[in-house]
Structure formats: structure tokens, C-alpha cells
Copies of this chain bind each other. A is one copy, B any other.
């Protein structure tokens, strides 16, 4: 544990208004205590990283959409076969279980069904492009 991590710990303590932490593992033993006066913390306004608290700290960076990822390695196709219309395009409303694309793997065509309902905001992979496991394919705004 280095200084950066200790400071991060202190930040977490402040955020949650923890007065005291003791920590011990195979490598280190660490104790951090704010003074029990408690008040000491109240008037802090300036500098510090947070200040956040009062209003609603949980309003953290809400990701604007859900992402559908590839569950396998293979080649991404937007349509069932060349010339067919694509399963889904930007702006389309999709429901759970609706086919979004095909991933070809080991010469098998695997239909990928949506696991969210919403509107397709962005298609992140071009037709015919190889995809890895876990690669983001579609961004969907949940509805």
C-alpha cells in the first residue's frame, strides 16, 4: 500500500464519514483515525476532493446507455445473409430476446439476442469485422 492508496482510503472514509479504520494483512498494518471531535470535519469547504456529499453524492457519471457485448469470438454480421436486411439499425427499438446480429464462429452462425429493451444508439462494429470475447457491439438506450 502506498501513499496514493492511503489517500484514496482517507477519501473513502471522508465520503462515508468514517471516524476510524484499522487494517491488517500479511504485508501491512494500518490505522487511520479522524479526531473524535467530529466537528472537525463539518466546516471543510475548500480544496478537498469531495464537497459533493450534501447534494446527492450518488449522482455519479450515469452511463448514458447499456452495451451489448459479444459472448464469443467470431465474425460479426448484421444480417442473416448477404443481401438480407440487417437485424437492427440505429434508431430501431429493440426488445429483450430480439436478434441483433450474427456471430459466425467455427463456421456456425450464432444469432445474438438483445438482453435489453431500448433504442439502438450506436453500432460499434462494422459488418464482417472480427470480434473478440467481451467486445462491445451495440449501445442501447434503455427504454
Contacts and interface: CB of A to CB of B under 8 A. Distances in A.
A29 interface: yes
How many copies of this protein are present in the complex?
A: 2
Question: Most chain-B CB neighbours within 10 Å: which of A18, A25, A47?
Answer: A18
Contact of A17 (B12, B29, B44): B44
A5 B3 contact: yes
B38 A35 contact: yes
A22 to B, nearest CB: 4
B6 A9 contact: yes
Contacts of A16: 7, 10-11, 14, 48
Interface size class of A (residues with CB under 8 A): 35 or more
A interface, by DSSP: helix, strand, loop or mixed? mixed
Contacts of A35: 17, 19-20, 34, 36, 38, 41
Given A30-B23, A31-B20, A48 B15 contact: yes
Nearest to A40: B17
B18 A8 contact: no
Nearest to A12: B7
A29 B22 contact: yes
A55 to B, nearest CB: 14
A35 B34 CA distance: 9
Interface of A: 1, 3, 5-38, 40-44, 46-48
